[in-house]
Chains A and B, each alone.
Chain A
Amino acid sequence: MLKYIVRRLILLIPILFGLSIFIIVLVHALPGDPCSSILGEHTSPDRLAACRHGLGLDKPLYQQYFDYMAGVFRGDLGTSATNRVSVVTSFLTRFPATIELSLAAMVVAIGVGVPLGIAAAKRQGSVFDNFATVASLIGISIPIFFLGLLLAYVFGVWLHWLPTLGRVNLRIYDFSHAGTNFLLWESLVINHNIPEFIDVVSHLILPAIALGTIPLAVVARITRSAVLEVLNEDYVRTARAKGLTSGRIDRRHVLRNAMLPIATVIGLQTGLLLGGAVLTETIFSWGGVGSWLFQAAVDKDFVVIQSGTLILATIFVLVNLTVDISYAYLNPRIRYS
């Protein structure tokens, strides 16, 4: 197992190298640069040239790449051209917000998707099954920005049930002295403040539903097909013949064996959510990594885009590695070498 993990980690190096080249070429192939964002309209060509020189954008692309990678090897992932804050600082500040949102979205996705998929599989061909199939299709198809705006308008403006942006009611609660940016943790574990915790949770609900809808639909579909497949296995039929109860069969034989594809899709979706919550974070003004990268893309903030992408790619690979490792525990027959 250890050998397998080391090999996967070594494989990360060429992946990140390739990705770094791909990103820098892609970003620089786009027209424009951060200087037009910084200087705005009616700047003069000489000020543009001075700005480009200051940011090193007048150097050949290969030289910019080597300069950048030299910084990466020194542990310097660069500084934003827009607000002059280091990428690492910005990332570490914002990542907890993204983690909280992604995990909340996965709670929605797994909490609803897995039972929905199991129920649909066990009632294959029924009205409920057809409903679940159509619902998951809608869930996969619905644009997040539309769903997000709809949720905010209905539950925020019309019903006034839930807040539509931010992570906490700043009129009441103050996290300025919190040790981390994990507000769930801070409110519940550090502050032991239940009303504060409830407020943080209430701010999570709408963005988590918006972000979790697609993974929910994916998880439900995969669960349904995985369970269906296992339900037709000989050992399940044998278990029934032995007179085991339905619940025992589901827990011991069906779910255990169906969990592999489900774990895979959950891992992939979690990895995607960690870096892909751009729309949700923007709609709900969630100060996470997604809205940070979105703004960087708008500003053509090359360094932030490059380094942010590399960090997220690393995390994505590590999450997938974790999922792979979890296979061994889910199914002892799997051995890595």
Chain B
Amino acid sequence: MKQGPVHQGRLKSPFFSRLEKLDFVNEWHEWKGYSSADQLYCSDTEYFAIRNATAVFDLTPMTKYRITGPDALDYLNRLVTRDMAKVRPGRVAYAVWCDDNGQVIDDGTIFHLREGEYRLCSQERHSAWLQAAAIGFDVTITHETEDVAALAVQGPTSYSVLSKLNLDGLGELKPFGLMHCDFQGTELMVSRTGFTGDLGYELWIDPDKAEALWDALFEAGELHGIRAIGTTALDMARIEAGYLAAYEEFLPADETVRTGVSRSPLELGLDWLVDFKKPNFNGRRALAEEKRKGSVWRLVKLDIEGNKEAHHSYIFSNAKASGSNIGFVTSAVWSPVCKQNIALGTVKTPHGKPGDTVWVEIYYQREMHWNRKMAKATVVDKPFWFPPRRGATPPGPY
């Protein structure tokens, strides 16, 4: 136990000194106790760094757990819905975990670091649940958020930038692969993962080496348009990629008070992550039942006519907004790269099948005055942005 008093105010990530230097606007928010930038210069510019060059985002506040022990695989396999036996050392899996009622607690990535040694990474904090899940397993769960500094390096030139750091094996690293290499005598873990839906990497290192890594990275990236970014730009990219965010597309089920406000993986379009061939995992019985009976909700990706962003809009089945709404928008953004008005939303089944037309009720403000517009929207199947470079191995020198 650490001795008191506890630190008051916000925590600073090991990259803070570098971010501070690049900050022009002083717009920060709190992310799990840390100061995290909304934007450092201009979110639109930062967004284009993701899609056009290299963007660097400080991931350190991301919650990280180390999972080790003889039962680590059994443990994870009971915890998450997908089959972790298929995830070999050196691979990363996007996964979702549920309570017994098949309601999503959170999603995240699980890194199979070495044989039997895993890192679980998520937006929210789950020590209590992870420890409850460990009852009866020979497994050790260590919280290591503060022990690992992390950066997302994302964008078409990210490979070119990282290449300059002479990281062995980088060219062969496939999407959802990870490798360990040396950075100035310290182990650097590189994974080909990210939250932007583009070519990109995430770097994981001892916090003591954080600043050195940052400096080396920015030096290498100087001619490749490298830019530090804040959350606003990242969020635009993740909506284009169709990724979910906790507290936007779903709530952690173990924090909900009201009945019916949580979501199952099936309701979030994550059927592909649920492996019913596994004999047991948290939520299996409930999800099998849901599959048989049908889900209540469905997550939709919406391509909305016009250019008015549909934040928090109600969704209707008809243009007149007659009858009650069938759902609501959870995340919305104008996609600069697709030149599309896009959104993620949650609607009641049987509405929301790909190809369906729905209507969103948009309120937008122009010079103090509020306007309302019913906009037609099409439910689309694929992510809005899915460039070939994302999967190319080795990646091109964009």
Decide whether A and B assemble into one complex: no
What is the interface of chain B, defined by CB distance below 8 A to chain A? none
Binding site for B on A (CB under 8 A): none
